[in-house]
Structure 1
């Protein structure tokens, strides 16, 4: 069923279109793209993967809460029904992924599928780009992790089972609602939760590590359904926690290396202090800074941090009071960056697919300045 056009103003354009009266229906438009890359990179410690693969731009599912909608605005389209009905297929995605995996410096880290848009949306049944990417991962024995709402993932159960045996594969199915009617209102073009549970059972029976993602949790709407979702997922053979932990991030990631190279400020300060046997007498300066320097010269710790406090001895009393100045700083990871890069494609590089062309209804429109 075509949906009315409803797109908020694009912040990257100087003008936008407002319709007089009812807007025309929005039909599906599919564009094919020869992409320059298919693997996205992030260095955020809050995300349990560093590399992700997205064979499509836009998502037919049309979830009301989708965080990826603004990515369509980089193409000059809207974040409303444009995101749901103007889908871009990266037709060379499998070939690009093979080139990426064949690099000599690649260390076979986990590849996450559907970091932005769903890789098993209905258009995958026609193009098969996700299956082609999984075949490339199987050729190079590269582990994968998939998160999707589409029960179409059960189509590739044979490929995922073999990939799980050789390198490792996991599938997380997003099921935030247990009630089919409520899910239809929030996720208008997604398969019913009952169909998704069937796909979960099929994958679990094949020995694949499976899980459910209960997100978003909307207080007063689906928070009371969480116990039922988890119980149903257990009946379907869920084999891993519902949400992956950041502790599973590979040790070769950028933030782990930076954390291991950067010494603690407390450790550096303690290592530069003289021993207690050669300590000078404490200063009588009334200022807090002078008192802290005196305690540092005396070899006493400057805070009660257990990792920076030297072992106590019978001849050297240790004061436990924390000074008002420099404190122990934990070994923090670097400041997280953005998890998604800007879209590099332009509308000039997109060509409409002849078999999926659709004609919008005509409607009087006028140009309105965003300013």
Structure 2
């Protein structure tokens, strides 16, 4: 089937945020097949005109009645906004793809990375959760490694870019680079924030997201995985340092072959967030065996968090719904 033979009406809620802007870029770059496009944002941004595929679209405040004619809606909104808006349109035919944390761990709502578990999206599915940014780039690598050997445990430390904190934090960071807005917390510029989100016991919100979402996506509820998350003064693209223990002794050549055969993964000796930003691939570098244990490997995963970790994943879900459902 030609993807272009089946066009739909789509909406983007949160069109003027950092993730929303990436959604718009990707709609154009990938020539996403739509007839009509509706853009929604806050009252503050209403009236803005944004260009997609050579045409200007006016950003509107959320209007429930317009969703009667919308087939797929992408939500790049906060968890509270997503809960509110999706509840208002649940009686319509609209399939909602939500980028917030609102629905990710709900038992009856699929948490989808299309390269891994798109089969969880059924013809009757009307709400799909997009995973956390740091989770997506990690599971795309883990899924390939699981095909080589059984994984015993995972320890990941993330170094997450400012763009992942949202538009307000992004703007605050750039103000701080100019010596402004340095009163109070957080200080992003020239600093490391040693947790992301609120604490639940000794574990912060972002760490729990990685743990719980990875288990759900890979369908391994007892997977031994630990995470430490840090916000770093990098503009864009997340970096993750992974220590992975297999059940059995591992051949590093098999690992490399598996990674090299996966079309959305790139294995390099070394890379960095600046080089990776703006790309639609996940980069693995510094791959090596542990010095003392023959069943342990170490590597770094780097990816554009606004694309791989958010907008691109949502767009790919939408494409497969059109193509396959």
Regarding TM over 0.5, the answer is no
Structure 1 or 2, whichever has the larger Rg, is 1
Q: Structure 1 or 2: larger strand share?
A: 2
Q: Which has the higher contact order (CA 8 A, sep 6+)?
A: 1
**If the length of structure 1 is used for normalisation, what is the TM-score?**
0.24
**If the length of structure 2 is used for normalisation, what is the TM-score?**
0.26
